[in-house]
A and B are shown apart, each in its own frame.
Chain A
Amino acid sequence: MKKNFQRLYIITGKGGVGKTAVAMALTRYLASKGVDVFYNSFFQDPERELWKTLKLPTLDLNLLSSAEIYIARKLNSKTIASWIMKTHFFKSLFQMIPGLSHMILLGHIIDELERNPDMVVVLDSPASGHALTMFESSSNFKKIFRAGLIVKDIERMHRFLADKTHLKTHIISLPTELSMNEARDLERELNANETGMNFNLNLIINDSYLRYCKIHNVSETLLPEFLKNKLDLEKAIVHEEVVIPHIDENSQDAIILKMIPLMEELA
């Protein structure tokens, strides 16, 4: 059954486009199909309350603890890893190169996926910088590090991600000109990468009033001017992308619950 699904889903996009909602809804959708799926977030302060409300299966790998576990595995010693992570030198290294800790976290997740062949992970990943640095950085770091365990690991990650049945990346955007342009820029940048990774990129339009009207059989002529404008704009810029309708709820858990059945196209 699982062979229809990918091993890793990365949900990315600029701030405020609904990445977290989509990532959580997708996790719940996959879980409802019997997949052994876990949600993991790259955000510094993840929304643990919401995880509880939604009964979301999570990995909850934290950036710093993840780095410590990772280094312990590489050096075969938890004591040394914990000592290293406490030094100012290492702390500074991680602060100065934010992409480094994200890359280690990704490496950690891929480790888990390789150990557990049935496992699937949905990764909620901010684009303003970090997801991008993570991908960019893996090849950058290869240039910087050149030798050592990290480079071997980067190569292993690239091998895993080059398999097109492993990774699917969804860039979430709002149906506005600004948001779409930024999403397309991100798409171009990711496609231009030289890592050999197969991102399997999709552009997903979230919060569409046009789709809302279609689903609810609302005639556009009944709409007020400001909504008609939104719809016209959508028609002009949205073409073949997967579209998620606007959801007329006001709490985040209610929005996510209504989104779950719509996730088939993203799975």
Chain B
Amino acid sequence: MIQIPHKQVEIFCGTGGVGKTTLATARALHLAKSNRKVLLITIDPAKRLKQILKLPDRDDGQIHSIPLSLFDEKNNENSIDHFDAMLMSPGATLGRIAKEKKLEAEFESTIIKTLSRPYGGMNEIMSIIEVQYQLKQKNYDTIILDTPPGKHFIDFLESSEKIKNFFDKSFLEIFEYLGKSINEDDHKKRNILAKIISSGVKKLLTYLEDVTGADFVREFIDAVLALYKSRDSFLNALDFQKELKNESFSNWFLVTSVEQQKINEAQGLKDQAENFIHNDLYLIINKCLTPYLNEWKPESEPVLLKLKESMVTREAILTDFASKNFRNVLKFHEINNPSPLDHVVGLALQFKA
């Protein structure tokens, strides 16, 4: 297998169902066995995986220690006997920001709570803020981020405009119009600004009230104001995003699987990777059946022969596509065993091989 250099951050991307979280866990196990201090940050893993890692059912945003003995790893001469894992909780990360900024009361809003739930729309940025925070603590050699489900994590990195727009001045106008103070020393400016504000803001709010109700408009503006007051946390995370794309700093793993017809997905990953090229970007093809298929000789059974051929073809198409479009391709063969624990152990061994 290709030699994968050690980095401070490793990022796993891919859609659901390809084994991304299991692979990220296997990677954490492999690095811990190589005597590195590892933190695995994962979001929304399958319940069974949480159970075998003895992680809590609720995403608590706390650090939990996973002993290597759980994987039946004899502790050899290495001093590292565990890795740490965290179930990412956007709410917990946001809570920490609120505390730092002394905005706890403002963050007690229904809207912010809805947003910071898993799938609430703030998952990606919260993951980045969490990695950034953990890196600053300097407790780990490597932090592994298993990105939120969906294939849009790289897209997200490309579109930091989204967040910048969010703190766009049109909000400022609305705050000013409503007489909400953003900074203490804004008072002088307010009079001038108040004059400049077009009647557009007032109209916009009237229409918004028609559609969503007046209470919502008030709450939404308060929620946005609270986020606005903590905007430097978000804008810092944007700078950190750029670092994440730096080759000396990160390894990227894009995960796909041959289990289903995933050619389209591999194409999607390729399109994403084009905006984002450094040498340590790896395409992982998971659940390969090649070793099993090679040993299978169903020549006397026409139906089975056709089945085998279609499986061989499927894998060949994907492998061919991968090697044409990606510099580094890692093939992981399927673990022929239903236990998730054996999956983690089996895949970790493949990282070593």
Please list the residues of chain A having a beta carbon within 8 angstroms of any beta carbon in chain B.
Answer: 14-18, 21, 44-45, 47, 71, 74-75, 80, 84, 87-93, 95-99, 126, 128-130, 132-133, 137, 140, 143-151, 174, 176-179, 181-182, 185, 207, 212, 216-218, 222-226, 229, 233, 246, 248-252, 255
Would B17 and A96 count as touching, CB distance under 8 A?
no
CA separation between A233 and B334, bound complex, in Å? 15
CB distance from B77 to the nearest CB of A (A): 35
A selection of 13 A-B contacts at a CB cut-off of 8 Å is A16-B259, A16-B265, A89-B208, A97-B114, A98-B119, A144-B114, A146-B213, A148-B212, A182-B46, A224-B296, A224-B298, A226-B296, A248-B310
Residue B239 lies at the interface, judged by CB distance under 8 Å to chain A: no
Q: Looking at the complex, which of B1-9, B132-140, B167-175 is the stretch in contact with chain A? A: B167-175
Interface string of B290-325 (1 = CB under 8 A from A): 001001101001011011001101100100000000
CA separation between A87 and B213, bound complex, in Å? 18
Q: Which of B110, B311, B317 contacts A144 (CB 8 A)?
A: B110
CA separation between A98 and B117, bound complex, in Å? 12
CA separation between A18 and B23, bound complex, in Å? 22
Would A130 and B310 count as touching, CB distance under 8 A?
no
Residue B71 lies at the interface, judged by CB distance under 8 Å to chain A: no
CA separation between A95 and B122, bound complex, in Å? 9
Would B16 and A145 count as touching, CB distance under 8 A?
no
CA separation between A9 and B51, bound complex, in Å? 34
Would A92 and B264 count as touching, CB distance under 8 A?
no
CB distance from B166 to the nearest CB of A (A): 5
Q: Which of B121, B212, B224, B264 contacts A252 (CB 8 A)?
A: B264
CB distance from A53 to the nearest CB of B (A): 13
CB distance from A189 to the nearest CB of B (A): 12
Chain A residues with CB below 8 A from B165, complex form: 88, 91-92
Residue B209 lies at the interface, judged by CB distance under 8 Å to chain A: yes
Known: A128-B16, A128-B149. A74 touches B211 (CB 8 A): yes
Would A17 and B260 count as touching, CB distance under 8 A?
yes
Would B17 and A15 count as touching, CB distance under 8 A?
yes
Chain A residues with CB below 8 A from B220, complex form: 93
CB distance from A74 to the nearest CB of B (A): 6
Known: A132-B119, A233-B338. A224 touches B295 (CB 8 A): yes
Chain A residues with CB below 8 A from B120, complex form: 97-98, 133
CA separation between A212 and B310, bound complex, in Å? 13
Interface string of B216-238 (1 = CB under 8 A from A): 10011000100000000000000
Interface string of B19-41 (1 = CB under 8 A from A): 00000000000000000000000
Chain B residues with CB below 8 A from A80, complex form: 207
CB distance from B115 to the nearest CB of A (A): 6
Known: A87-B170, A128-B149, A249-B310. A133 touches B119 (CB 8 A): yes
Give chain A's interface secondary structure class.
helix
Count of interface residues, chain B, beta-carbon cutoff 8 Å: 71
Q: Which of A95, A97, A226 contacts B336 (CB 8 A)?
A: A226
CB distance from B204 to the nearest CB of A (A): 6
Would A89 and B16 count as touching, CB distance under 8 A?
no
Would A218 and B304 count as touching, CB distance under 8 A?
yes
Known: A146-B215, A250-B261. A16 touches B306 (CB 8 A): no
CA separation between A184 and B303, bound complex, in Å? 33
Of B114, B120, B262, the most chain A CB neighbours within 10 A belong to B114
Find residues 46-61 in chain B having any chain A CB closer than 8 Å to their own CB: 46-49
Would A145 and B119 count as touching, CB distance under 8 A?
no
Of A14, A88, A133, A207, the most chain B CB neighbours within 10 A belong to A88
Return the chain A residue nearest B46 by Cβ.
A178
Would A15 and B18 count as touching, CB distance under 8 A?
yes
Of A176, A207, A248, the most chain B CB neighbours within 10 A belong to A248
Return the chain A residue nearest B265 by Cβ.
A16
Of A18, A96, A181, the most chain B CB neighbours within 10 A belong to A96
Would A216 and B303 count as touching, CB distance under 8 A?
yes
Known: A144-B111, A174-B17. A95 touches B162 (CB 8 A): yes
Would B211 and A16 count as touching, CB distance under 8 A?
no
CB distance from A28 to the nearest CB of B (A): 17
Which 7 pairs of residues, A with B, have the shortest CB-CB distance?
A148-B213, A16-B17, A15-B16, A129-B119, A147-B213, A15-B15, A248-B310
